[in-house]
């Protein structure tokens, strides 16, 4: 046991009374875990669950499968034809019901960074293909009426006195904008009997989750290809209202932005000083402290250190820093482990996915990784005043909960069978291959 030193910089420090102090090696965030608080349940029991009617499976919210015209024009969809996944692009309203969309990519109705932001600040214009698609959609009677309806919904009360010309000024945002949503088909799990049985990332099959990830990565690459002014595309998922979700319907979001963000800049500065930082301070550190939860041949899952909320982190072992450059085996391996992390977390735990990877204009590699944060606590005055965050679960608590759940899920056949858990994992130093100096 390490003795306490004021101003300690050790990532993980256990005090004599059992208090665990953590410092995130990438962000510098300080977190304390107080003994005796880690056994509390992560989710509250369901109260007043409402029985479901058949229409609830398809009509519960604007993201549901029967409400495809409630969203802006669809950019792409992932369909399953036999055993194969296929991406279909730029469908007209009359074509939406030809194949069942497992996942849909649509523009966000209320953008964080708007089309006008790029147009006014950078002189951004749609690509020829995007403009052709807008003109094709407007020339289709159903497409034109759909765009007008979407514009009225976007403007709300302000749409009452607006003519068609004013409404259609919003159209470029839905064909050349940089804030997209990837929507899953199900609102509730198949066979659900009440409205507490929501379909989450963890209730998908591993195969379905792979389709979800593949369409998300395809959208990332497309946003970079169509906006030369965006050095970064932020990717995230908010699950349930306490984690910031507007709908209790599974979806991810992608936002093209013109900055990397302060935390990314701080992390990149540390990466320049130590190109092997993700191996040394994340995965190697996890092996030395028994914080490795699971792995596949191409990805590894560890308990995070120094996060405001209990966090697990999935790292890709791929040597390719851009997610769209991963081999099919690497992408599937990463997806399987992220899916397993969600399944072990459970569908009633509010959580955020935060994707991290190399910005498109960065000259040094960094590994693809996703933080899965459990939003099970509320920040209060102590945290605001000291910037020391009290976390109810230590990294060891997180590991124990996840490992126990993963063993049970694997026995039930609900996660990929190629996942190695806990002591089955191979303690290979520097297993993240992004660092080219390691050969």
| 215-258 tens-digit pLDDT | 999 999 999 999 999 999 999 999 999 999 999 999 999 999 99
What pLDDT digit, counting tens, does each position of 293-309 carry? Answer: 999 999 999 999 999 99
pLDDT at 133: 96
pLDDT at 156: 81
- Mean pLDDT for the stretch of residues 147-154: 92
Asked if residue 36 has pLDDT above 80, the reply is no
Residue 246 DSSP code: S
pLDDT at 44: 64
Q: Considering the chain, what is the average pLDDT of its residues?
A: 92
Radius of gyration of the chain (CA): 23
Give the count of alpha carbons within 13 A of 424, CB side only.
Answer: 15
Give CA separation, 39 vs 307, 366, 373, 405, in Å: 19, 35, 18, 15
**What is the CATH number assigned to the segment(s) 54-126+172-439?**
3.30.428.10
> In degrees to the nearest 10, what's the CA dihedral of 348, 350, 353, 354?
-170
What pLDDT digit, counting tens, does each position of 95-117 carry? Answer: 999 999 999 999 999 999 999 99
Asked if residue 38 has pLDDT above 90, the reply is no
Please name the residues in contact with 364: beta carbons below 8 A apart, sequence gap of 6 or more: 268, 271, 272, 275, 358
pLDDT at 40: 61
- Mean pLDDT for the stretch of residues 198-202: 98
- The proportion of the chain whose per-residue pLDDT surpasses 70, expressed as a percent, equals 95
Q: Tell me the pLDDT band of 165, cut-offs 50, 70 and 90.
A: confident
Cβ burial 48-74 (10 Å sphere, 16+ → b, else e) = eeeebeeebbeebebbbbeebbbbbbb
Asked if residue 383 has pLDDT above 50, the reply is yes
Q: Where are the domains of the chain?
A: 54-126+172-439
300/47 Cα distance (integer angstroms): 36
Asked if residue 6 has pLDDT above 80, the reply is no
Q: pTM of the full predicted structure?
A: 0.94
pLDDT at 39: 59
What pLDDT digit, counting tens, does each position of 306-345 carry? Answer: 999 999 999 999 999 999 999 999 999 999 999 999 999 9
323/321 Cα distance (integer angstroms): 6
pLDDT at 11: 87
- 283 and 369 Cβ atoms separated by less than 8 Å: no
Q: Tell me the pLDDT band of 37, cut-offs 50, 70 and 90.
A: low
Q: Tell me the pLDDT band of 10, cut-offs 50, 70 and 90.
A: confident
Consecutive H or E run containing 237? strand 232-239
**Mean pLDDT lowest among 100-109, 123-132, 150-159, 205-214:** 150-159
Higher pLDDT, 378 or 56: 56
pLDDT at 3: 41
> In this structure, are strands 388-390 and 30-33 parallel, antiparallel, or unpaired?
parallel
């Amino acid at each position: 046991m390490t003795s306490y030193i004021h101003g300690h910089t050790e990532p993980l420090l256990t005090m004599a009374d059992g208090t665990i102090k953590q410092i995130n090696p990438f962000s510098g965030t300080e977190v304390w875990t107080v003994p005796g608080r880690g056994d509390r349940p992560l989710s509250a029991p369901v109260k007043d669950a409402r029985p479901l009617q058949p229409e609830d499976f398809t009509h519960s919210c604007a993201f549901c499968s029967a409400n495809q015209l409630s969203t802006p024009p669809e950019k792409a969809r992932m369909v399953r034809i036999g055993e194969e996944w296929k991406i279909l692009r730029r469908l007209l309203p009359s074509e939406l019901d030809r194949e069942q969309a497992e996942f849909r990519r649509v523009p966000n109705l209320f953008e964080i960074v708007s089309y006008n932001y790029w147009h006014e600040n950078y002189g951004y214009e749609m690509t020829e293909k995007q403009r052709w698609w807008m003109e094709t959609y407007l020339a289709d009677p159903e497409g034109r009426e759909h765009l007008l309806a979407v514009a009225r919904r976007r403007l709300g009360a302000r749409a009452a006195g607006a003519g068609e010309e004013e409404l259609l000024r919003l159209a470029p945002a839905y064909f050349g904008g940089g804030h997209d949503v990837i929507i899953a088909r199900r609102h509730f799990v198949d066979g659900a009997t009440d409205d507490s049985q929501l379909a989450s990332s963890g209730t998908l099959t591993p195969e379905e989750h792979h389709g979800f990830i593949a369409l998300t990565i395809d959208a990332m690459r497309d946003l970079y290809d169509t906006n030369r002014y965006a050095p970064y595309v932020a990717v995230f998922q908010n699950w349930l209202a306490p984690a910031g979700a507007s709908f209790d319907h599974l979806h991810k979001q992608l936002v093209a932005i013109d900055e990397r963000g302060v935390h990314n800049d701080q992390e990149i500065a540390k990466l320049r000083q130590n190109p092997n930082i993700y191996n040394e301070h994340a995965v190697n550190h996890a092996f030395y402290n028994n914080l490795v939860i699971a792995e596949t041949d191409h990805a590894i899952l560890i308990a995070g250190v120094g996060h405001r909320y209990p966090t697990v982190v999935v790292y890709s072992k791929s040597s390719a820093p851009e997610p769209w450059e991963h081999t099919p085996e690497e992408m599937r391996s990463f997806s399987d482990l992220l899916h397993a992390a969600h399944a072990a977390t459970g569908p009633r735990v509010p959580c955020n996915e935060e994707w991290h990877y190399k910005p498109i204009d960065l000259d040094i590699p960094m590994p693809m990784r996703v933080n899965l944060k459990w939003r099970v606590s509320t920040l209060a005055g102590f945290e605001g005043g000291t910037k020391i965050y009290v976390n109810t679960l230590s990294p060891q608590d997180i590991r124990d909960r996840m490992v126990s759940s993963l063993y049970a899920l694997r026995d039930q056949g609900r996660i990929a069978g190629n996942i190695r858990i806990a002591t089955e994992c191979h303690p290979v130093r520097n297993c993240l291959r992004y660092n080219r100096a390691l050969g």
